[in-house]
Structure 1
Amino acid sequence: MTRLDTAPGPGASPSAWHDILHQLQDAALPHALASVVGAAGSTPREPGTKMVITLDAVYDTLGGGTFEHQVIAAAREALLNDQGGTRLEAFPLGGRSGQCCGGYVHVLIEVFAGAEMTVALFGAGHVGQALVGLMAPLPWRVLWNDSRADGFPAWAADSPRLTCRHAPDPAAAVAALQPDCHALVMTHDHGEDRALVDALLKRSDCASIGLIGSDSKWASFQRRLRDAGHEQSALDKVRCPIGIAEAKGKRPYEIALAVSAELLTLKPETERPDRRGIDPNALRDVFDAERIADSRAGED
């Protein structure tokens, strides 16, 4: 996992959350941003106060106490369950939080579950380098593998979402992958390509498998892979040639563009297209709770 340059501790700047947020966003690591968006009565902090939360650290503060612990717990529960998106939470400090302030706080919790997808790329040749350059600005984690120790360009060390792995053993390289990754095979050697596809099919838990090459290359591979025991139904899941079918051109950058576009079609939906952001029912519940609290305060 990518390590952050700044760690919380005594004397940390009040604006440290901003630097940490930038690092976490840049590295596509799971985190949550909690912001006080409304306050009534006596409260620990004012609207605009922010705090960044990860599974193992907290940066800055919303005022401490039980209220802050509840915010942290809500954010971490969402992170553990990969529940990205936004939620609005209401905290009556004298009720839900058991604090003596007696005020009322609304906190917007924005959960970033990390990388939208993980791409395991095998091969650091011309197409591989062009493809990594195209994927670099996207919130995807890229695991770049090559059997040659000197195969990676110098600039590859500068991307926080890119991990370069010297992988001389195809089976071991595939075994090290996490489930649900999108695998792309484009090494400098056809024998290595076939060994990688064989190992990837044996896993059966990849989100997708793509192989660079022609129809004739794939026909030859399929014969060998069937002889190795793979069913046709499994082989049919491999995309070869890769890239959107309508794309033309054989230059490395043209192929990389076609493959990038194809990956975009495979990216999972994060939210329902007809319902984005905070659920309307949740907003109604929050505002109803606020009206009840205000009416009770008026009676007192």
Structure 2
Amino acid sequence: MNQISWIQHLAYLEQQGEECVLVTVLEDKGSVPRDAGTKMIVTRDELFATIGGGHLEHLATQMAREILIKGENKTHIERFNLGARLGQCCGGMATLSFEPIGFNQHHLVLFGAGHVAKALVNIVQTLPFKITWIDEREAEFPTQLAPNVHKLVSDDPVGEIKHMPANSYYLVMTHNHQLDFDLARAILTQDNASYFGMIGSLTKRKKFDLRLSHRGFSADIIDNMICPIGIGAVKGKHPAEIAVSVAGELIAHYQGQTLEQKRPIKQHGLVG
């Protein structure tokens, strides 16, 4: 494939929010399959372009996918002896760089497609997030969605949680309090959620804390649920105002800031 094609593929993957590794031949000595500057894009499932095929490309693909699996975010440089190390007849030397791309994105799982959720998606889709937007009601979703927003119509929203990537952000904004509670139980059972927030008042929070504790959840685990959500300084009940407040909290989280505590906590960790 020519240079334009790999550039187009890279732009497409970036638009889709899909992580990949850009493999580049930095240096070639002697007889090698491709010259310096040749590039190949590796995703978890596909290859775009080529660095010449054979054992070198096979090994480079394996190494790139290990980077994807580990979630590494730094460029690696490796030198390959095509004769001694790889048993290729060309016998030259090739130096490859492995550059991860797209690892600055976070994955948000949003439950509920009501007014606040719609307003929130309008903001979060412009931030470094890939969004999985889940609701049982297909008619509630907008007809047009940004490339980094994936609509998932599901009769079993709780069951979708086990399919979500590790370190996902979770936001629960459904129209059903019992579904909210069932989602909370399932999300808190995960040990790799990066953030879990639920829309609601302090009264709702108190009821959920007690119900969760009666079902065996410890105070430390329950405290992983943020409810109410949003930045306290941003007031208002309009969906756009709530959305701005919640988006601000998501930004603060991925920037590594300590989130404010918006509810009274007793020593045992439950609302009094």
Q: Same fold (TM over 0.5)?
A: yes
Is the counterpart of residue 193 in structure 1 residue 180 in structure 2?
yes
- What's the counterpart of residue 250 of structure 2? 263
Structure (1 or 2) with the larger CA radius of gyration: 1
- What's the counterpart of residue 239 of structure 2? 252
What is the aligned length? 256
Q: Contact conserved, 1:82 with 1:113, CA < 8 A, in 2?
A: no
Is the counterpart of residue 232 in structure 1 residue 219 in structure 2?
yes
- What's the counterpart of residue 111 of structure 1? 100
Paired AA for residue 234 in structure 1: I
Paired AA for residue 159 in structure 2: A
Q: Contact conserved, 2:134 with 2:157, CA < 8 A, in 1?
A: no
Q: 1:45-99 CA distances to partner (integer Å, 9 max, x unpaired)?
A: 3332111122333222223343333322322232233323211122344443444
User: Alpha-carbon deviation of 1:102?
Assistant: 5.0
- What's the counterpart of residue 136 of structure 2? 147
Paired AA for residue 66 in structure 1: H
Q: 1:144-175 CA distances to partner (integer Å, 9 max, x unpaired)?
A: 1223231111113xx33322223444543445
- What's the counterpart of residue 286 of structure 1? none
Q: Which runs of 5+ in 2 are unaligned?
A: 257-272
Q: Contact conserved, 2:188 with 2:224, CA < 8 A, in 1?
A: no
**Hey, what's the Cα distance between the residues in 1 that align with 2:90 and 2:157?**
61
Alignment of 1:54-65 (within 5 A): 54-65=43-54
Q: Contact conserved, 2:111 with 2:135, CA < 8 A, in 1?
A: yes
Q: Contact conserved, 2:6 with 2:49, CA < 8 A, in 1?
A: yes
TM-score (norm 1): 0.72
Paired AA for residue 161 in structure 1: N
**Hey, what's the Cα distance between the residues in 1 that align with 2:100 and 2:191?**
30
Q: Which runs of 5+ in 1 are unaligned?
A: 1-11, 270-300
**Hey, what's the Cα distance between the residues in 2 that align with 1:172 and 1:61?**
39
Aligned in 2, Cα 1:86/1:168: closer, same or farther, shift over 3 Å? Answer: same
Percent identity reads 36
CA RMSD across the alignment: 2.9
**Hey, what's the Cα distance between the residues in 1 that align with 2:38 and 2:73?**
21
- What's the counterpart of residue 37 of structure 1? 26
Is the counterpart of residue 16 in structure 1 residue 5 in structure 2?
yes
- What's the counterpart of residue 122 of structure 1? 111
Match of 1:85, SS state, is coil
Q: 1:220 aligns with which of 188, 207, 210?
A: 207
Aligned in 2, Cα 1:119/1:264: closer, same or farther, shift over 3 Å? Answer: same
**Hey, what's the Cα distance between the residues in 1 that align with 2:50 and 2:115?**
47
Q: Contact conserved, 2:117 with 2:243, CA < 8 A, in 1?
A: yes
Aligned in 2, Cα 1:62/1:172: closer, same or farther, shift over 3 Å? Answer: closer
Aligned in 2, Cα 1:192/1:98: closer, same or farther, shift over 3 Å? Answer: closer
Paired AA for residue 241 in structure 1: P
Aligned in 2, Cα 1:203/1:153: closer, same or farther, shift over 3 Å? Answer: same
Aligned in 2, Cα 1:211/1:45: closer, same or farther, shift over 3 Å? Answer: same
